[in-house]
Structure 1
Amino acid sequence: MERPEKLRKNQQQSNSTLELSSARQVKKQKTKHAKDDFHERYLSLKREDIDRLVAIEERKAEDPYSIQKCITTLEGLKDLQIGDMLKTADLFTDNKNNREVSLSFSNDALRLAWLTRKIQQT
């Protein structure tokens, strides 16, 4: 009679060992899934950040009256003094319409005359 009892104990021990092993595997799988979810969310957020930055840069590139274009044009005006150039840069940062008007002139002489008048008005 002792043998069946030992067999039952051994079987119970092996069952509990299997349950413990199975529980460990489930826990490992959950941990792995949690890590995978974290990585997926992290990558998703990074993609969104990159998409936002790309959109901002595209908008800057699309602006035909950007500050950069205006400054480049200003630097090309030979008769514009440095002090007046700085004042004009302020006019451009304060008002996009000023940038549009300045870049809309067909030649540097008209552009310079308009800028000089705007500077005198301020």
Structure 2
Amino acid sequence: MTHPNFDAARTAEADRQHAGATASDLSGSGRTYRHDWGLRNGQWILTLNDPAITGATQVFVSVGEGSGDGKFIGAARYTVHNVAPGPGRISIWVEITWESPINLLVDYLIVQP
């Protein structure tokens, strides 16, 4: 049984349009950075300042619980809602579903086109 909103013809057309993507389309220079945002719970918009960031910068983010020894999967739910690079900054909207503040580690993959 397929989902009622599934359109096989439209999906096939989208696959044809993206079939030309190659590794060369994924070029640029990149770096990673881990930031410890401290003890948090609930929803937060957090801004990391970096003068090298522009609106064209591509940023990928992962969030999780952790300490100086790295991240681990605990009982809390960590969610990234949005990532928005802009001139000199990266803003992220995160949510930590836990009744008390716990440590928030954010890994950033920053790619300059």
TM-score by length of 2: 0.21
Bigger Cα Rg: 1
Richer in strand (by share): 2
Compare relative contact order (CA 8 Å, sep 6+) and give the higher one, 1 or 2: 2
Richer in helix (by share): 1
